[in-house]
Chain A
């Protein structure tokens, strides 16, 4: 149900083809946004666009590698050419990798940093320049992770992933400051254990390392959530929709948890 009246606002959601990104794209479309669904996998982006259209919304599918500056710039220019003035960027694209730090190779580190952190800089630069050219004003919402605040734990070797997500939290603060004079608000969200393909991967690979049954890692993690249930992608989309709305006009530079109480701070 629409709550924030974002009618006609143009949004880009990176990694919009599945998981949390898909839920955000669908939610923003329900709120009246015209959404560019950007994904490395053009097929999933097209599927989500079909879902948006089936709801009666407007959307544009784009196959984008968010680590490549030219592709990111094209994403922004195609969006503003085809949908209109860009108002909202959701930096959601991300990858995970399971490896204890002593076994983390340079390629893994570079890939995580490129996709999870550098992409946030590149996409935000391109989007903010576009917003400033339009006369200023806009929202940038970064999807970090609980791993952007804490070490995920001994049984969840996600050290490099956590470093890349901590980088997103840090970027949010300084970006909020640097873009505040242009009326562009920058915020970040940190989710807990979300029922997504990425958590399936974490569960599968961690379980394999420990010789534990598939599903047990996720179940253990969920058992520690005060609200007692696994998180749905829509839970994150609810917070993103709020941060994109006029109701969040005094909020910038900050990071907000949606974790069922899992995250300690």
Chain B
């Protein structure tokens, strides 16, 4: 029997990268998956991939930062499957990549809207059905950038730090309803998002880890699955670092340079 047998799960940003890996893994573990994405095509691709593996899934096209969309996503899920057991707040956008003094107000608002307001809205509308069912599990995808600083990422890191606060407060507010809220903080992953990042940055992110390599999205999906499942029934307000130990150490610049060189040799320019 699957680890999510009979459960209904919404995964936002399910069209690609970590969201897709999570949706596929959930379905393989017996969940009925609502694959939510802004991009109709990629959402449907994920659903097709799930169905071709004999899983059950439905695509919804959603801008998580629009309240009507988030509300409709919850309503459609209830209409289709009758309950909502799991929400994975995964949809996110990168920041502007600018120095904090140079970030435009519009750019800042865009990052906060997608990365913070989106998870707030998506959570808000699944809480009432979860409460009346007697519980549920909300997993927030933050980042290693949710606990440390990175250069030129003030907007992105602020949003990812904020998610941890949101998850902990949700856990406080909804604990008595049996609703759990937890966070995973991955380091860089081999995903489309990272493929758009300059190779130098990619190498230094990899070098921060104890393994001098990135996570595969499947490795992070494993942790999301654990938190979503009943195996984690006593875990709430917790932050699971899935970062190859990156934030447990303070690497010296020299270690970082050496690690980056090692990584680049191994990756042989795959991200260039």
Contacts and interface: CB of A to CB of B under 8 A. Distances in A.
B239 A180 contact: no
B79 interface: no
A176 B180 contact: no
Contacts of A256: 238, 240-241
A249 interface: yes
Interface in B218-232: 219-220, 222-223, 225-226, 231-232
Given A249-B219, A254-B241, A261-B172, A177 B236 contact: no
Contacts of B215: 250
B248 A253 contact: yes
Contact of B210 (A249, A252, A260): A252
B3 interface: yes
Nearest to A248: B222
B175 A3 contact: no
A115 interface: no
A255 to B, nearest CB: 8
A251 B247 CA distance: 11
Interface residues of A, number: 36
A227 interface: yes
Interface in B1-58: 1, 3
A235 B234 CA distance: 6
Given A261-B237, A265-B239, A252 B245 contact: yes
A247 interface: yes
**Chain B interface size range:** 35 or more
A231 B233 CA distance: 10
A259 B168 CA distance: 13
B249 interface: yes
B210 A180 contact: yes
A250 B186 CA distance: 9
A249 B219 CA distance: 7
Contact of B248 (A173, A242, A263): A173
B171 A261 contact: yes
B249 A260 contact: no
Contacts of A247: 222-223, 225-226
A226 B238 CA distance: 12
Contacts of A73: none
A257 interface: yes
A26 B248 CA distance: 30
Contacts of B247: 254
Interface string B184-219: 000000000000000000000000001100011001
Contact of A253 (B178, B210, B237): B210
Interface in A177-217: 177, 180
Most buried by A among B3, B211, B237: B237
A260 B236 contact: yes
A52 interface: no
Interface in A220-258: 225-228, 231-232, 235, 238-239, 241-242, 247-254, 256-258
B234 A232 contact: yes
B248 A177 contact: yes
A263 to B, nearest CB: 7
A207 B168 CA distance: 31
Interface string B228-264: 0001111111111111110111000000000000000
A239 B225 CA distance: 12
A78 B240 CA distance: 35
B176 interface: yes
Contacts of B240: 251, 254, 256
A172 B248 CA distance: 9
A223 to B, nearest CB: 11
Nearest to A180: B210
A20 to B, nearest CB: 12
Contacts of A232: 234
Interface in A59-100: none
Nearest to B226: A242
A174 B251 CA distance: 12
A227 B1 CA distance: 27
A239 B240 CA distance: 11
B236 A227 contact: yes
Contacts of B235: 235, 239, 257-260
Closest 6 pairs between A and B when the two form their complex, measured CB to CB: A226-B175, A253-B245, A253-B248, A235-B234, A247-B222, A180-B210
Interface of B: 1, 3, 168, 171-172, 175-176, 178, 180, 210-211, 215-216, 219-220, 222-223, 225-226, 231-245, 247-249
